Amino acid sequence: MDKLVNILIKYRFVVLSFCVFIFFYGLYSIKKTPLDAIPDLTDTQVIVYSKWIGQSPSVIENQITYPIVSNLMGLAKVKSVRGYSMPNYSIIYVIFQDGVDLYWARSRVLEKISSIQDSLPPQASVELSPDATGVGWIYQYVLVSKNRSLDELWSIQNFYLKYGLLSVENVADVVSIGGFEREFRVILDPKKCFQFNISLEDVVKALKETNKETGGKYIEYNSREFIVRSKGYISAIDDIKNTVVKVQNSVPIKIGDFAKVVETPAFRMATADFNGLGNTVGAVVIMRSNANAYETIKQVKEKLNSLKAGLPSDIEIIPVYDRSKLIEDSINHLKKVLIEESFVVVVVIGLFLLSITLGIVVVIFLVLSVLTTFILMNLFNINSNIMSLGGIAIAIGTMVDASIVLIESFVKRKEEGKSVVDALKESFSEVGKPIFLALLIVAVSFIPLLALKGQAGKLFHPLILTKTFSMLVASVLSLVVVPVLIYYLGRGKFIPEEKHPLVRFFIKIYTPLFFLAVRYRYIVLILIPISIVGNYLIYKNLQKEFIPQLNEGVIMYMPITSAGISIQEAQRLLTLQDKIIKKFPEVETVFGKAGRADTATDPAPLSMIETIITLKPIDKWRDGMTYENLISQLDRQLQLPGVVNSWTMPIRGRIDMISTGIRTPLGIKVYGSDINQTLELAKNIEMSLTGIDGIMSVFAERTSYATYLDIVPDREKLALYGLRVEDVAKTIEYLFGNIPVSVYISGRERYNITIGIPRDLRQFPEEVILPLNDKFIPLKAVAEVKRVSSTAEIKSENGLFVSYVYITPKQDADITKIVQTATERINKEVNFPAGYYYQFSGQFEYWQEALNDLKLIIPLVLITIFVLVYLSFERVFETVLVIVTLPVSVFGGFLVMYILGYKLSIASITGFLALLGVAVEMSIVMIIYIVNALKESKIVSKEEFINKVYFGSVKRVRPKTMTLITILASLIPAVLLKGPSSEIISVVALPMLGGILTSFITSLFLIPALYSLKVGKEIKSY
């Protein structure tokens, strides 16, 4: 260490230049590091999106979903394949294993889709969705106007605003919700068609041929070139009406002679509402995967502001969901925590050392350590979010430990009259290597947590990495930068430790307690087995959860109603709910959606409602109102017939839906080979779980209760007319399905041209006359028309049909107890046929996966600590001493969680594992001083041995107390300061806070007591 100090002082200007470089490069890295609220917890997934307008779920499942799913299951590194077959659409989620590159996965899926394209219906469009997920729903807005119709607003959104926003970097898609899309429909009069002998094929052919433009190269006139164009696009309804279908007896028969041409709303899969005012036009901006959310939202807002200049003055764009506010609030909260922690740490050092200049040393060291951590974050592509910054927040107190111990040891030597250089050399020789290794233990012992996989891994890896980076950086800078800073700023005079009023106070209290601990050492040792038993008992009695509910500052209300609901009824229900919600004084805006937006990232059926409730700032809430109370009151007011409520947050809810398909925190999946049987079993599970303590709501899917109008052709009757099933099917597609025949082009706008029949005939389809070829036949003459109930949506997973049971636990419920009770009831009350089974999903699935990982991680952490401690001391006794005191340290964490009513989660377990490293460090600091005291001179008696232990423990209480208070001061703000998204970090910090207190007690009393056992046995070894 002497050589290192000499080198550093000799090249101190190089070190200072290095510090300046770190400072400016660190500021640059902070600016360049992407910002988001939380890490993206979604799996690597590719979404296959298929559209076949007019088809039922069974047709979609049999002809599109199942063929694709069965082929994709064999792809390399695929974890699961989920299929959703809905009217007109199919969505297939291909979930890959962790770590698979997204674009490699997309290319593999695309290759497989291309190879089976010929076996899929030619009318269906099959494509990969944009490289985005539901978590990419970063910004939503509505268009409001007192003068414009909904179809006008829809056109402005889709043909003006959408194109502008798609030009923003990292915007993957812009999806419209609500309003009406125009459609030009030719409504046939069957009687007139019969009168003019017009078949459906005639109309289709005429519409396709009347809407064309082409070119004819060019013609040269008078040395000029004129490009030839044939202008034939339809530009008005009259163009359609005047289209000639055929000529009879030299008389042209036009479409207007036997049909009406009208503008009508196109088929809709969703509707929307804003503040309970009725149907509205909204839009969702979807961000590309792994992009910078904050920067993307910023650019979206700037683009919208520039696009407003081209909007009519009466149109207003109102944001209804803006994730950047959550990001700003979360980052600002953690910045506040970091600043307060740093301030308190500096104050503590100032109080104990009574030196402003040495306080400045710690400030510079701390700033450089944090900035270097940001440099590493930028190099390793780690976003700034609540988890990554939280890792820095919980590490700050421990980061400064090395500098504190080094500075305190330097001050001790200065008090003895040593020169600056000599004091530096001696202090580094005494504590430099051990404290460096202690910080290294804190850093390295946390690394095994990187073995966490799935949701837990994605959530906590940023925290684990930044905390590890912080400790590694601190351990290096403490040896490289701190000596140079002390060389310049440690030249004043210092009050001797024995004369410092605070130190004298602590010595006065500690001395009698020390001798009591040594005298009754065997009683003190009982703390170890007591803490082991206490840890186990508290662990068994703590409630369990995967992670604390993250407060995003925005509520997502997700009720579900009966399948088969009409879009008009869904609109009425949605508007009613939003009116009720808007009456609450805490609510700023309400934006509701029923059904699915036209994007592969939204699999919601029409019976599922998603309402984004943006809240006012908390200082404008009623006195005593909390998030929990607000949700409880909303839930009571929204108890409507036929509606089952569910509450979550936007990011959390979409992560759950995408990762598992379950949109509630807990759910059950029922698997089998018959969709109707799985639905029935799911319903039976719902009945068996009703009334379980801790469950707010339980609801099994009712997708089998959608109503259908089945048209079943009679092949024998068709044969009498010389017709085929294809003829009837094609006619149904055009007349009832309104599949597009041509496209109306108006500038940049595009609207479909379709064919249909009068509304009154649609009500009685049996009476419809089919204009087939040259025949006009009533539908009832060749087919049976039946009204039946069947599935509105077909779900599958890994080739089997699956049905969901949604469970919303109460806020204070223990998920593991709910699962245990539910399992007992299901096994007792529900009979599963052979080939059918169920499994729990949602957060319980994540919890089980994380526990399985922790069974490997915790032993790895303990082995790592044991090895590193042994390398630090190269003595078995000290190594074992550190390890056996860990249960006492952990007991403080468990005790404070039990007293305050916290649940055990992956977040708190992460805090416990972080605590182990800090506890080891505190024990090492104590042992360093005891061992150094024992080595000062030859020990010849028991009394001398005890006195040496006393000197190493009590007389060196200052650095230990400073270490304790700085760590506590850094953790208290993380626990107590409440703000957006602070729930997880506070739960990580809480067990550390409680454990640090018992770790301090362990180092002050248990370690000296254990050393006293060596009296008369190994005295000569020192």
Output the pLDDT for position 306: 95
885 with 1010, same domain: the answer is yes
Output the pLDDT for position 1: 63
Q: 791 in the Ramachandran plot: left (φ > 0), alpha (ψ -120 to 50) or beta? A: beta
Output the pLDDT for position 738: 86
- Could you tell me if residue 777 is inside a domain? yes
Q: Is a pLDDT exceeding 50 seen at residue 375?
A: yes
- Could you tell me if residue 140 is inside a domain? no
Output the pLDDT for position 602: 84
Output the pLDDT for position 289: 84
> What mean pLDDT do residues 489-512 have?
80
- Could you tell me if residue 92 is inside a domain? yes
1009 with 918, same domain: the answer is yes
Torsion angle defined by CA atoms of residues 205, 206, 207 and 209, in that order, rounded to the nearest 10 degrees? 80
- Give bridge partners of residue 136 from the DSSP assignment: none
Domain boundary among 459, 494, 529: 494
Minimum mean pLDDT among 94-108, 278-292, 334-348, 610-624: which range?
Answer: 334-348
490 with 447, same domain: the answer is yes
Number of domains present in the structure of the chain: 4
Q: Output 305 or 327, whichever has higher pLDDT.
A: 305
1022 — pLDDT class (breaks 50, 70, 90): very low
- Per-residue pLDDT of 512-547, as tens digits, reads 988 888 888 888 888 889 999 999 999 988 988 888
Q: Is a pLDDT exceeding 50 seen at residue 424?
A: yes
550 — pLDDT class (breaks 50, 70, 90): confident
Token readout for 902 is: 């916290």
Torsion angle defined by CA atoms of residues 317, 323, 325 and 328, in that order, rounded to the nearest 10 degrees? -140
CATH for 713: 3.30.2090.10
Output the pLDDT for position 704: 59
426 with 375, same domain: the answer is yes
Domain boundary among 74, 103, 133: 133
Domain boundary among 476, 494, 512: 494
705 — pLDDT class (breaks 50, 70, 90): low
> What mean pLDDT do residues 299-321 have?
94
CB 415 within 8 A of CB 490: no
- H/E stretch holding 474 reads helix 454-480
Q: Is a pLDDT exceeding 80 seen at residue 341?
A: no
Q: Is a pLDDT exceeding 90 seen at residue 924?
A: no
What proportion of the chain, given as a percentage, has pLDDT over 70?
98
Output the pLDDT for position 536: 93
The values of phi and psi at residue 24, to 5°, are -75, -40
CATH for 54: 3.30.70.1430
365 with 459, same domain: the answer is yes
Q: Is a pLDDT exceeding 60 seen at residue 1020?
A: no
1019 — pLDDT class (breaks 50, 70, 90): very low
What is the domain range of residue 56? 38-133
737 with 726, same domain: the answer is yes
State the pairing for strand pair 794-797/800-809.
antiparallel
826 — pLDDT class (breaks 50, 70, 90): very high
27 with 114, same domain: the answer is no
393 with 456, same domain: the answer is yes
308 — pLDDT class (breaks 50, 70, 90): very high
Output the pLDDT for position 1021: 47
Mean pLDDT (the chain, rounded) = 87
Output the pLDDT for position 54: 76
> What mean pLDDT do residues 809-831 have?
88
62 with 2, same domain: the answer is no
Q: Output 874 or 388, whichever has higher pLDDT.
A: 388
85-99: b (≥16 Cβ within 10 Å) or e: bbbbbbbbbbbbeee
Measured CA to CA, the distance from residue 534 to residue 524 in angstroms comes to 16
Output the pLDDT for position 980: 65
> What mean pLDDT do residues 151-178 have?
94
- Could you tell me if residue 797 is inside a domain? no
- Per-residue pLDDT of 37-93, as tens digits, reads 788 777 888 999 998 877 888 899 999 999 999 999 889 999 899 999 988 889 999
CATH for 480: 1.20.1640.10
Output the pLDDT for position 439: 80
CB 668 within 8 A of CB 839: yes
892 with 961, same domain: the answer is yes
Using the structure block, give the residue that is written with the tokens 């089952």. 644
- Could you tell me if residue 577 is inside a domain? no
- Could you tell me if residue 627 is inside a domain? no
486 with 515, same domain: the answer is no
472 with 388, same domain: the answer is yes
